């Protein structure tokens, strides 16, 4: 990509403001936008990692991921542009939408039982 075609990067202040407005559970730290997802077990952790991996590959924009038994940290920064770009916000929104999706109480999709640890998946924030 030529220097002229380089994607616009946002200032630290712009990133912080947009996160507060659009992605309040994400934070800006160390030049990355970051989000921690809490899970109930290794199974849930792997499911989050695979979901993020699928979305990133489909978008052709790849985050850094750190994980442990019951959590996943997703970090986004546009390496080519050397900063936070519109791609980072777009992928963060999609990750948030898909990972935190919960079926409603109505209809045939009821979701995993959160009170039974054999099946509990994501620790959904209230």
**What's the CA gap between 119 and 108, in Å, rounded?**
18
Mean pLDDT across 81-89: 97
Specify the pLDDT at position 1.
Answer: 46
Res. 19: pLDDT tops 50: yes
Q: Look at phi and psi of residue 73 and say left if phi exceeds 0, alpha if psi is from -120 to 50, else beta.
A: beta
pTM for this predicted structure: 0.89
Domains and CATH numbers, the chain: 28-103+111-126 (3.30.1360.20)
Please choose, from the candidates 18, 26, 32, the residue with its C-alpha nearest in 3D space to the C-alpha of residue 79.
Answer: 32
């Amino acid at each position: 990509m030529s220097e002229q075609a380089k994607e616009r990067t946002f200032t630290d202040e712009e990133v912080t403001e947009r996160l507060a407005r659009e992605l309040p559970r994400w934070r800006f730290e160390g030049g990355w936008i970051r989000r921690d997802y809490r899970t109930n077990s290794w199974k849930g952790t792997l499911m989050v990692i695979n979901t993020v991996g699928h979305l990133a590959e489909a978008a052709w924009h790849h985050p850094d991921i750190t994980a442990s038994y019951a959590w996943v940290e997703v970090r986004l920064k546009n390496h080519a542009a050397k900063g936070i770009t519109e791609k980072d916000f777009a992928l963060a929104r999609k990750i948030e939408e898909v990972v935190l999706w919960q079926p409603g109480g109505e209809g045939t999709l009821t979701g995993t039982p959160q009170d039974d640890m054999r099946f509990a998946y994501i620790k959904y924030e209230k």
